[in-house]
Amino acid sequence: MIKVLVTGARGQLGSAIKSISNSCEGAVGFTYCTSAELNITDIDSVMAMITTNSFDYCINCAAYTNVDKAEENSPQAYAINGLGAENLAIACKKANVTLIHISTDFVFSGKQSQPYLETDGTEPLGSYGKSKLRGEQDIQKQLDKHYIIRTSWLYSEFGANFMKSMLRLGSERAELSVVFDQIGTPTYAVDLAKFIIYLVQNDTAKYGIYHYSNEGVASWYDFAKAIFEEAEINVKLKPIRTKEYPLPAKRPSYSVMDKAKVKTSFNIEIPHWRDSLKEALKNYNSK
């Protein structure tokens, strides 16, 4: 049996992995740790967990993800997203464990007008992106056996996310304003979870950085419009510019990622975001 540690188990992606883990049919055994059960900023706790349990993989879903609060609380963001990632890499190296680490499109500036490749230069705009980039860099320094998966606009029936916020606001208001000048790709957390489990089950050893999001391109306005259309909620949507809805942290205006590398390396097909949205809403409504 392949033994896997999942950190940040109560978050969106950890919950998504747990929801589909029965598909492994006993071939993979998962140990789920919440941040309360395993503080990845504590190197002693991380070493004890990883070096004494004979894990084959560690999937790091633990992260400080509040983009705006990271601006005023950057030490904690760096502790979790930077130091925490490094601690896991150090322990994984000692125990010969493969680390699968989740990163973000926020490592890019958004100044490009074509999809970002894994080899494109990084230039994060705020503390969240900078802390996630630090984690990537520290993992690469400490550990050869790693997958760093950059993803974007993660949503699902689990946790707090844009889809669930829109559904709530759509039931409360007749009109909403949503920015239309930030372009990226919504990613269903369950699709990403399926790919991660594929990596674990197939043990390809094709280590490195990969981009994984759903197919297609959208603005936040497009995403919101699709949510309301699929959910059959009648809301008047007003497209606005980012400057009309100022927030503490700058967002990349364009963060579409090129997925050619992940598709060719692992011979996988990735669903279009609109198809995955239908699946997410179906699963959300059946909860």
Radius of gyration for the chain, computed over Cα atoms and rounded to the nearest angstrom: 18
pLDDT > 70: percent of the chain: 99
204-224: b (≥16 Cβ within 10 Å) or e = eeebebbbbbbbbebbbbbbb
Quick one: which of 21, 23, 1 has its CA closest to 9? Answer: 21
pLDDT in tens, 60-83: 999 999 999 999 999 999 999 999
Give the per-residue pLDDT at 247.
Answer: 86
Give the per-residue pLDDT at 286.
Answer: 83
Domains recognised in the chain with CATH numbers: 2-161+185-216+255-272 (3.40.50.720)
Distance CA 175, CA 168 (A): 13
Q: Average pLDDT of 217-225?
A: 97
pLDDT in tens, 253-286: 999 999 999 999 999 999 999 999 999 999 998 8
Catalytic residues: 128
Give the per-residue pLDDT at 27.
Answer: 86
Give the per-residue pLDDT at 2.
Answer: 93
State pTM to two decimals: 0.95
Within the chain, residue ranges assigned H as helices are 12-20, 43-51, 69-72, 74-78, 84-95, 127-142, 162-172, 189-202, 220-231, 260-266, 273-285
Q: How many helices (H) and strands (E) does the chain have?
A: 11, 12
Give the per-residue pLDDT at 217.
Answer: 97
Q: Flag whether pLDDT at 135 surpasses 90.
A: yes
pLDDT in tens, 110-126: 999 999 999 999 999 99
